[in-house]
């Protein structure tokens, strides 16, 4: 009876999603992320801008814990202490909870622990993360931070985060505009 006719319309303002997260949004995520799996998923998105599909399909063979490296979409990345601690916490929990699982995926659930497949497409959003937490703003914030602090070059962003060229092309001009605006304010 009360149907929203705009529910399926896309947001025409593509740059709105590129805005950095506020301190309040970051604190809200910190408060509600309490389990080892949640911490790992958010850490991967916040540091490496990893998407949910990549997280779901990460395998234990993608990890090189002694050398603190992880393979993300075929690219070896160093593990900083934040992600390394989250990863170690998850691995301890995973081993304690499912010590004999045949599943070689990094993220597993009660149901996937008894098989060999990845967790389902909606596992992260529907079961693991609270309703107030989505990975896309966290990923976007990380890419924007890289563009603002290191280099607003699409090629750099593509190489660092394994982004498609079209995605990198959205961040770079937005970051340049923000940097130019900050420079104009200093003058």
Same domain, 67 and 123: yes
**pLDDT 10s digits, 11-70:** 444 444 677 888 999 999 999 999 999 999 999 999 999 999 999 999 999 999 999 999
User: Across the beta sheet with 69-72, what order do the strands follow?
Assistant: 63-64, 69-72, 75-78
CA angle 41, 43, 46 (to 5 degrees): 110
Is the residue at 40 inside a domain? yes
Is the residue at 53 inside a domain? yes
Is the residue at 27 inside a domain? yes
Same domain, 93 and 145: no
**pLDDT 10s digits, 42-52:** 999 999 999 99
* CA-closest candidate to residue 79, choices 66, 70, 90: 70
| Structure-token pair, residue 68 | 């603190």
Q: What are the phi and psi torsion angles at 176 (to 5°)?
A: -60, -40
For position 186, what pLDDT does the model report?
63
* CA-closest candidate to residue 125, choices 135, 117, 140: 135
Number of domains in the chain: 2
State the Cα–Cα distance between residues 141 and 18, nearest whole angstrom.
7
Domain range for 62 is 22-133
State the Cα–Cα distance between residues 53 and 56, nearest whole angstrom.
5
Is the residue at 8 inside a domain? no
Domain containing residue 68: CATH number = 1.10.443.10
State the Cα–Cα distance between residues 137 and 20, nearest whole angstrom.
8
| Structure-token pair, residue 103 | 């599943």
Is the residue at 3 inside a domain? no
**pLDDT 10s digits, 84-139:** 999 999 999 999 999 999 999 999 999 999 999 999 989 998 888 888 888 999 99
Same domain, 167 and 157: yes
State the Cα–Cα distance between residues 152 and 175, nearest whole angstrom.
6
Is the residue at 111 inside a domain? yes
């Amino acid at each position: 009876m009360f149907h929203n006719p705009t529910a399926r319309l896309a947001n025409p303002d593509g740059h709105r999603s590129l805005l950095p997260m506020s301190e309040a949004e970051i604190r809200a995520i910190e408060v509600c992320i309490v389990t080892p799996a949640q911490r790992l998923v958010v850490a991967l998105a916040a540091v490496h801008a990893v998407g949910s599909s990549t997280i779901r399909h990460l395998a234990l063979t993608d990890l090189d814990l002694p050398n603190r490296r992880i393979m993300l979409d075929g690219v070896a990345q160093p593990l900083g202490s934040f992600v390394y601690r989250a990863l170690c916490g998850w691995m301890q929990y995973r081993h304690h909870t499912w010590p004999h699982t045949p599943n070689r995926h990094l993220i597993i659930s009660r149901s996937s622990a008894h098989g060999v497949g990845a967790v389902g497409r909606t596992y992260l959003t529907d079961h693991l993360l609270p309703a107030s937490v989505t990975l896309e703003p966290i990923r976007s914030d990380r890419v924007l931070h890289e563009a603002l602090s290191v280099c607003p070059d699409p090629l750099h962003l593509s190489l660092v985060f394994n982004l498609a060229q079209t995605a990198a092309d959205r961040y770079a001009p937005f970051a340049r505009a923000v940097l130019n605006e900050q420079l104009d304010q200093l003058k």
